[in-house]
Amino acid sequence: MKRHAIIVAGGKGLRMGAEMPKQFITVGHRPVLMHTLEAFAAAMPGINLVLVLPEEHIPFWRELCDTHGCQLAHTIVAGGSTRFHSVASGLKAIADTEGLVAVHDGVRPFVAHEVIRRTFEAAAASGAALPVVPVVETLRELQGSSSATRDRSRYRLVQTPQVFSLSLLRRAYEQPWRDTFTDDASVVEALGHPIALVEGNRENIKITTPFDLTIAKALLA
């Protein structure tokens, strides 16, 4: 079964407080986004990689590939105004009609190889799967001016890659965009399709803030 991965890297870097978008920041002598692409190539040799970038960032990414000697084969497409529209653009770049497709945040470079493989295996069996990790902090739900403790064992933190049957994800992305679509699983769930959960890895952080960048540098040290 053909396997694809759409790597979405549309960040502007605003929360990072840096001029350079976070996906291009160097960590361990290589841009964050390059680490992410290499993780998928190493976990699944031969996987078809589709990288979605803001159109204005594409020339800079190509310069980075030249500078760092990145020879990893991947297709580059321009994204849209939202993540939803960027994923839709990535899907259009895939010629196959059947197979499995992962959607992954470009700024999650520390996804474990076994998590990638595990999520693909679960999606092959169920049509839709994503990695999660337990909540380790105490949860409180806001209730007007008060709050109440919630049972954290009933909740999980969602990560990427989120992997789907290619035909299922295409059908899901034929729906009009809604503001309730917070990730790809929510788009698929709107069709009534259940999502299988697999164990993620705690290191699979999304690099969004300067603190996250500090953690990333420590993980690579």
* Domain parsing of the chain, residue ranges: 3-220
Phi, psi of 26 (to 5 degrees): -80, 130
Q: What is the 3-state secondary structure (H, E, C) of 129-150?
A: EEEEEECCCCEEEEECCEEEEE
What pLDDT is recorded for position 34?
A: 96
Residues of the chain under the 50 pLDDT cut:
14-16
Identify residue 4 by its one-letter amino acid code.
H
CATH classification number, 3-220, choose in 3.90.550.10, 3.40.50.300, 3.90.1150.10, 3.40.640.10: 3.90.550.10
What pLDDT is recorded for position 21?
A: 81
> pTM score, two decimals?
0.94
Q: What is the pLDDT of residues 63-97, one digit of tens each?
A: 999 999 999 999 999 999 899 999 999 999 999 99
What pLDDT is recorded for position 20?
A: 72
Question: In sequence order, which residues have a C-beta less than 8 Å from that of residue 28 and are 6 or more positions away?
Answer: 35, 217, 220
Torsion of CA 214, 215, 220, 221, to 10 degrees: 70
What pLDDT is recorded for position 19?
A: 63
